[in-house]
Amino acid sequence: MERGDVAGTKGRGRRRTRVLVALVVLATLYAAGCSNDPYPPEAPGEKVLYGAFEEAPRSLDPATAYDTRAHAITGAVYATLLEYHFLKRPLELMPSLAVAMPEERALADGRVVYRFELRRDLLFADDACFELGGAGRRTREILAADVAFQIARLADPKVGSPVVEPFSHIEGFSDFAAALAARRESDAAFAARPVHEQYAAVGGIRGARTPSSHVLEIVLDKPYPQILYWLAMEFSTPVPWEAIAFYDGAEGRPRFDDHPVGAGPFVLSVYDKQARYTLVPNRNWHGLRHPEWQAPGTVYPSEGEPGDREAGLLEDAGRPLPFLDRVEVRRDKESIPRFNKFLQGYYDASGIIKESFDKVMQGDALSPEMQAMGIELGKAVSPDFFYLGFNMDDAVVGRAGGERSRKLRQAMSLVLDTEEFLRVFLNGRGLPAQSPVPPGIYGYEEDYRNPYRQVDLERARALMIEAGYPGGIDPRTGEALKLTFDSYNTSAQGLTQTRFYTHAWQQLGIDVQIDATNYNQFQEKLRNGAYQVFESGWVADYPDPENFLFLVWGEMGQSKSGGPNYANFADPRFDRLFLSMKTRENGPRRLAEIREMKEILARERPWIELFHREDYALYHGWVKNVKPMGLSMPTYQYRDVDVELRARRRHEWNRPVTWPAWVLLGAGIAILVPGIRTWRRERQ
C-alpha cells in the first residue's frame, strides 16, 4: 500500500473514533436531561402561574379596552376606587383606592352627588414617564385629580371611548366634550398642547370635581346608581398625565395603549404581543407598602358564601396578598396543542375543547382519568346572553309590517330548539335563555317561561298563515319567502351553526340565505342598516339588569345613535319602563317593571333568545383559591400554587423518552466499530 493511502485510512479511523465518542456523549446527555418543559428553570420556591392566550388585545388603554383579552391584563395592573368582594355572591362592591364606600347625597334639583375620599400615600407603579415631573423621579402619589383626568379622557372625542353613554350621566360630561372639540378645531396651537393642559384650559368636567387633593365628587344630572359599577371598572382608574404625554409612540417610545402605568397589584414587566406577557407584583401597590392597613382587597377575605369553607376557599383568610411571584402567559393559538400542554401540567388552567369533551367529562362530572390526575372542575352559568335579532327598520321583518311581521317573528322563534343546539354544538354547556336577564342578575326568575321560546311547530305554522305566508309562500312572488341572515363567523363550525337556524326555518317554508362576512364588514352592514336577521351576544359589564335591557332601549338604536341596540327596537312603553327601572334600587317595584319589559319583548320578538353559556373550567389540583366571578376580570392576587406538587406531577407525566437515543447510539456503534477494527489491523 502506498504511503498516502495508509495516511488516509488512519485519518478516517481517527474521525470515526471521534464520531463514536460524540455519539456516546450526546446520547448520555439526552438520556440524562431530555425534557419537553417549555419554560426556563424557576427559582427554588418561586410561585408562578402559567396560562395561555390566542391573540393579543387591540389596546391596553383603560379608556378604550373593552374585551376579555384586554381585561386579563388591565384588571391586574390598574386599581379602581371600588372593586368586588372575591368570595361573596351575589357580587358585592367594596372600597379599594377609596377609604370607604362613597357618601351619597341627593340635591333638591334632582342631581345626585357621590363623594369619595382617596387613601393617602398611594403610589403609581415605577415608570420612566414620571421624569417629566423631575429628573430621577420614578413615581408619585395618586391624587383625586388623576381620576378626574381619566374621566375627562373618556369624554375626549379623540380618545374614542366606547363607554361615553354611561359616563354622560356625569354633569357637564357632554358639554366638556363639545367645548374641547370646538376649541381644537378653531385653535391649532391649542390642539398641539399636551392633553392635560387642554383639559385644564377648557375647565374640566363640572361633575368630576376635586375640592381637595384626596377628595373626588361625582355629580350626576339625575339618579343613576349603576355609576358605582362603572367606577369599579378600569375605565375610571387613576391615570397619570405623565404617561399620556410620554408614551406617544415617538422616538422609540411605545404608545400608551401598549404600556400601561397603573396602581394595581401587578405590573406588566414583559409584553410581546406575538409571544408572551409577564405580570409581577407591583412593589408600590398599597397592599405591599402598607400591610398594616389591612385594606379591603389587600388581604385574603375571611368571609364568603355558604360552602366556601367546605371548598377550602377560606384557608388563607387574613393572609396578605398577592401570593404569586409571577404570572406567565404564552401565546398558543391552536386549541388542541394548548389543551395537551394543560394535560402535561404546563398550563395551570384550561377550558374543555370539543374534541376532548367526552374524554374529560362523564355526565356532569369529570371522568375517572381526570380525577386520577387531580384535576378539578369549575362550573358556572356565565352572566351573558346570546341571541338572534331582527332589524326592526327592515320592511319585511320589522315594524313597518305591523302585526303581519310580528307574527312572522313569533313563528320563527317557535321553531328554534336551543336545547338541541346546545347539545350538538356546545356539548350541552349552556342554559336556554327565556329573556336577556341571565342567572345571578336581579330580575332573573328560574320558573319564567317565554311563551315564544317553547318549540311548537304546529303553532308556528298557524302563525305563518295568520301572517299571510301560508306554507312560507310570499304572496307577492308566489315563491318561498326569502330572507337574509348575516353572520361574522365564517369558519366551517360557524357556518354549520348558522345552517342549524336556517334548516329550522325551512320547516316553515322560509328560504333564509346566509351572508357570512368578516367582523369589520358585518359592522359596516350594521351601520348601513343593510341586514334583516343577525346573531350577536353580550357579556355583563356589571351585575345589574340595566346592563342587558339597555340592548333594546330605543336611545341605543344602531340606526339612531350607533349604539348596541342592533335590532333598532323602539317601543314607547318599554322605553318608559327602562328609564324608570334603571334608576331604582332592587325591590318589588323594580321587579314588576322588569317583568313587564320581559312581556313586551316576548310579544314583540325583536330577537330570539338563545342561551346563557355555562362555563366549564379545568384547574390542576396545585392551583388554590379558584372562584370565578363571572365578570371578565382577573383575580390573580388571590391565586396560590403548590409548586412542589406541580413539579412532582410534571415529572410523572413527562418522563423523557430515551430509547431513540440509545437506538441511535447502537446503530452508530454497529457501523463504526468494524471500521475502527480494520483501521487498527492496518496500523499494526
Q: How far apart are CA 79 and CA 230, in angstroms?
A: 13
H or E, element range at 593: helix 588-604
Q: Is 35 in a helix, a strand, or coil?
A: coil
**470-509 burial by CB neighbour count: b if 16+ within 10 A, else e?**
eebbbeeeeebbebbbbbbbeeeebeebbeebbebbeebb
Helix (H, G, I), strand (E, B) or coil at 285: coil
Looking at 142-146, 280-284, 370-374, 614-618, which range is the least confident one?
Answer: 614-618
Q: Please report the beta strands in 236-375, taking only residues with DSSP state E, as ranges in sequence order.
A: 266-272, 276-281, 326-331, 349-350, 361-362, 365-366
Nearest to 100 by CA among 121, 89, 114: 114
- Cα separation of 636 and 569, whole Å? 40
User: Structural domain boundaries of the chain?
Assistant: 3-31+656-683, 48-293, 384-615
For position 628, what pLDDT does the model report?
A: 84
Q: How far is C-alpha 682 from the geometric centre of its chain's CA atoms?
A: 74
Helix (H) or strand (E) holding 379: strand 376-381
H or E stretch including 588? helix 588-604
**Predicted confidence band at 28 (pLDDT cuts at 50, 70, 90)?**
low
Grid coordinates given for 648? 412532582
| φ, ψ of residue 379 in degrees (nearest 5) | -125, 135
Inter-CA distances, 75 with 234, 272, 637, Å: 7, 18, 11
Cell triple for 543: 351585575
Q: In angstroms, what CA-CA distances link 462 with 104, 244, 407, 467?
A: 55, 62, 10, 9
Neighbours of 146 (CB within 10 A): 22
pTM of the predicted model, to two decimals? 0.81
What number does CATH give the domain 384-615? Answer: 3.10.105.10
Tell me, letter by letter, the H, E, C secondary structure of 195-236: HHHHHHHHCCCCCEEEEECCEEEEEECCCCCCHHHHCCCHHH
Say if CB 666 and CB 24 are below 8 A apart: no
CA dist., res. 253 & res. 76, Å (int): 23
Bridge-partner residues for 118, per DSSP?
Answer: 98
Residues in the chain: 684
Q: What is the pLDDT of residues 160-215, one digit of tens each?
A: 998 998 999 999 999 999 999 999 999 999 999 999 999 999 999 999 999 999 99
Q: What distance in Å separates the CA atoms of residue 140 and residue 154, rounded to the nearest whole number? A: 23
Decide whether 48-293 matches 384-615 in CATH topology. Answer: no
**Cα–Cα dist 236/228, whole Å:** 10
Given a contact cutoff of 8 angstroms between Cβ atoms, the answer to whether 192 and 82 are in contact is no
- pLDDT given at position 382: 87
Burial class of 346 by CB neighbour count within 10 A (0 to 12, 13 to 18, 19+):
buried
What CA–CA distance (Å, rounded) separates 512 from 338? 37
Which CATH topology does 48-293 take?
Answer: D-Maltodextrin-Binding Protein; domain 2 (3.40.190)
Assigned C-alpha cell, 557: 338604536
d(CA 499, CA 424): 13
- Report the alpha-carbon distance of residue 202 to residue 185 in Å, rounded: 13
pLDDT per residue as tens digits for the range 305-314:
999 999 999 9
Give just the sign of the alpha carbon dihedral 406, 411, 412, 417: positive
- Specify the pLDDT at position 126: 98
pLDDT (0 to 100) of residue 414:
98
Q: Which of 68, 90, 632, 52 is nearest to 382 (CA)?
A: 632
Give residue-wise pLDDT tens across range 332-375.
Answer: 989 999 999 999 999 999 999 888 998 999 988 999 999 999 99
User: What is the Cα–Cα distance from 68 to 210, expressed in whole angstroms?
Assistant: 32
The residues that bridge with 557 in the sheet, in sequence order, are 565
Distance CA 140, CA 127 (A): 10
Kindly report the average pLDDT of the chain as a whole number.
91
pLDDT band at 12 (very low <50, low <70, confident <90, very high): low
User: CB under 8 Å to 470, separation ≥6 — which residues?
Assistant: 464
- Supply the DSSP symbol for 130: G
Burial 287-298 (b: 16+ CB within 10 A, else e): beeeeeeebbbb
Name the DSSP letter for residue 400: G
Least confident of 414-428, 533-547, 560-574, 655-669: 655-669
pLDDT for residue 223 is more than 70: yes
Q: What is the mean pLDDT of residues 218-227?
A: 95
Q: Are strands 533-539 and 511-516 parallel, antiparallel or unpaired?
A: unpaired
Residue type at 553? Answer: W
Q: For the segment 283-312, what is each residue's pLDDT rounded down to a tens digit?
A: 999 999 999 999 999 999 999 999 999 999
Tens of pLDDT, residue by residue over 239-251, are 999 999 999 999 9
- What is the spatial distance between Cα 500 and Cα 610, in angstroms, rounded to a whole number? 13
> Rounded distance, CA 250 to CA 257, Å?
13
Shortest CA distance to 174 belongs to which of 190, 161, 187? Answer: 161
Stronger pLDDT, 345 or 658, i.e. the higher one: 345
Give the angle 286-289-292 at the CA atoms, nearest 5°: 90
Grid coordinates of 229: 359599577
Average pLDDT on 104-118 reads 96
Q: Is the pLDDT of residue 498 over 80?
A: yes
Checking if the pLDDT of 22 tops 80, the result is no
Q: Rounded to whole angstroms, what are the CA distances from 123 to 232, 577, 594?
A: 19, 44, 43
284 vs 263: CA distance, rounded Å: 7
Q: Angle 75-49-74 (CA atoms, 0-180°, nearest 5)? A: 15
Query: What cell numbers appear for 470 in the block?
Result: 301560508
pLDDT at 563 over 90: no
Give the residue ranges of DSSP H helices in 34-80.
68-77
| Residues 618, 228: Cα–Cα separation, whole Å | 32
φ, ψ of residue 640 to 5 degrees: the values are: -140, 155
Q: How far apart are CA 536 and CA 225, in angstroms?
A: 27
Closest CA to 480 of 452, 455, 513: 513
Residue 2 has pLDDT above 50, yes or no: no
DSSP β-ladder status, 482-487 and 533-539: parallel
Weakest-pLDDT range from 44-48, 396-400, 593-597: 44-48
Among 124-133, 360-369, 673-682, whose mean pLDDT is lowest?
673-682
